[in-house]
Amino acid sequence: MSSLLSGIRSLSPQSPTDTARRALNDVRLFVPTPLTDALDDLVHAHTPTDRPTPRRDAPTPDAFAGRMHSYEILNQYIVGAQWRALALAAEASILETPADEERTLFKLWTYRILALCSLGHYASAAREIRRLEVATMGASVYEHVHPRSPTIVWPFELRVLRAQVAGLALDDWPTCADRLSSLHRACHRRLARQTDVELNQQRTVRLSFMLATCAVRMRDAQLAVRVMDHLVSEAPTDPRLTSAMARLHLQLGSIREAELQFVKVEQLIPPDDKLARMNRALYAVASGKWEAARDLFHSVAGDVPEEHVCAANNAFVCEVYLGHPQRMLDALQRLMVAAPRAAGASEELVFNYCTGLDLHYDGAKLREEKARKMVDVATWAGDGFNTASFKLQ
């Protein structure tokens, strides 16, 4: 398509005489699947050639083409964060699925878009979603030509991905919010009709959280708080929701309001509940009471920090503010080794660790330490790891 016309959405349906409408398994719906991985590239660029690099999965289209891949296999790719393999397997499965099996095709498309988003290829995901929209938009026009069920129901996950991609690909969070709101209203209507009550309740809660995310991205603190207020008002006795509300207030800087919410939580749960201790610790961070915060986080992490990675990480972060960055480095490294998947491949922990490295080392020594960390992470992490976590300038 000419670049002059790119991004312009056609409002008129295709001509009824054009019967070469794209089916959901049309190969032209796909963009080229990204086969490179940023972490792989980084490791190869920064590791001396005489040192071994970890063996990482490097899928090729040939290994997946021409056959169906079961849901079991696809789900394994999700669990293993093998997003490139998932994208290729989903594509191959779509191409092998008959055009009239629309439900199956849409499920497979959900896997495909999920894989592209998890790889960070939001623009590619946006393009494929757009092509899918065009492919399904003309369905009612062609009903009399190609007799088939007029109902094309996108899976909920795919609809959510479609909304999120608008924000992630184009930074267009208002459009993301519009699409999520539309979904929210649809779920509300079904709730009003008592259709799949539990499912739609869950969906409205999830969508509300996503709307709050959009509001935060749009820097509209009041909207984010209003959305959360509405949620809390519907479940005022759930301590987790009130805690979530309080933490949002902390993040935005509204400390007094956060304190009020934390006090409400303390009335709902025992004082030694780990949620209560975590809340107090986060409040201590916001109050600049680093020693108290560190001790409270340690009490949550307990003797098995690898089972409470967030609390352990937070305790170690406090060490920097207490003037002991080396302790943070040592403790994070031990945690990453003890919990390679949960901690060692965590972008947040890697970022904190590399910040500690930046503070402690310089020059060749700094590069060497970061290269070592890249090799470690490459051993544990799947595809799509955000390499900005290594803080390479």
Partner 1 sequence: MASLMRESHPLTLKVMRLSRPTLADSRALPMDSSTAVLAQALREAEQNRPTASGQIFSDLQLSDAQLPLDAFPLSEALVLPRTFGTMFLGETFSAQMCICNESAFVVRDVAVNVVMQTATQQVPLLDNGATQLAAGQPLNVQVAHEIKELGTHVLGCTITYLSAQGEHRTLQRSFRFQAANPLVVKTKVNHLERDVLLEVQVHNATHATLVLERLRFEPSSPFAAEDLNAPHGDTALLWGGSAGFMQPGDARQYLYRLRAPVASEEASVEQERAVQYATALGKLDILWRGAFGSVGRLQTSQLLRKSPGMFLIEVDKAEIGKTDIAKDPSVTLETPFCVRARVRNVSENAMTVLATVDANKHPLVMPCGPTRHDLGDLAVGEAREICLEFLPLAAGVQRFGAMMFVDSVSGYTRELGHLLEVFVA
Q: Interaction with partner 1 in 274-303: which residues (CB under 8 A)? A: 274-275, 278, 282, 285-288
Among 97, 136, 175, 254, binds partner 1 (CB under 8 A): 254
Binding mask 24-63 for partner 1 (x = CB under 8 A): ----------------------------------------
Minimal distance in Å, beta carbon 71 to partner 1? 5
Among 255, 292, 338, 375, binds partner 1 (CB under 8 A): 255
Residue 313, interface with partner 1 (CB under 8 A)? yes
Which residue number, 43 or 320, has a Cβ lying nearer to partner 1?
320
Among 23, 139, 152, 310, binds partner 1 (CB under 8 A): 310
Minimal distance in Å, beta carbon 167 to partner 1? 12
Which residue number, 247 or 298, has a Cβ lying nearer to partner 1?
247
Minimal distance in Å, beta carbon 138 to partner 1? 26
Residue 311, interface with partner 1 (CB under 8 A)? yes
The size of the interface with partner 1 (CB under 8 A), counted in residues, is: 97
Residue 341, interface with partner 1 (CB under 8 A)? yes
Which residue number, 148 or 365, has a Cβ lying nearer to partner 1?
365
Residue 321, interface with partner 1 (CB under 8 A)? yes
Residue 319 to residue 308: CA distance in whole angstroms: 17
Binding mask 348-387 for partner 1 (x = CB under 8 A): xx-xx--x--xxxxxx-x----------------------
State both tokens at 321: 């503010």
Binding mask 205-224 for partner 1 (x = CB under 8 A): xxx-xx-xx--x--xxxx-x
Residue 164, interface with partner 1 (CB under 8 A)? yes
Minimal distance in Å, beta carbon 145 to partner 1? 31
**Distance of CA 279 to CAs 299, 343, 373, 386, Å?**
12, 21, 31, 28
Minimal distance in Å, beta carbon 198 to partner 1? 7
Kindly identify the residues of this chain, within the stretch 84-143, that bind partner 1 according to CB under 8 A.
107, 110-111, 114, 118
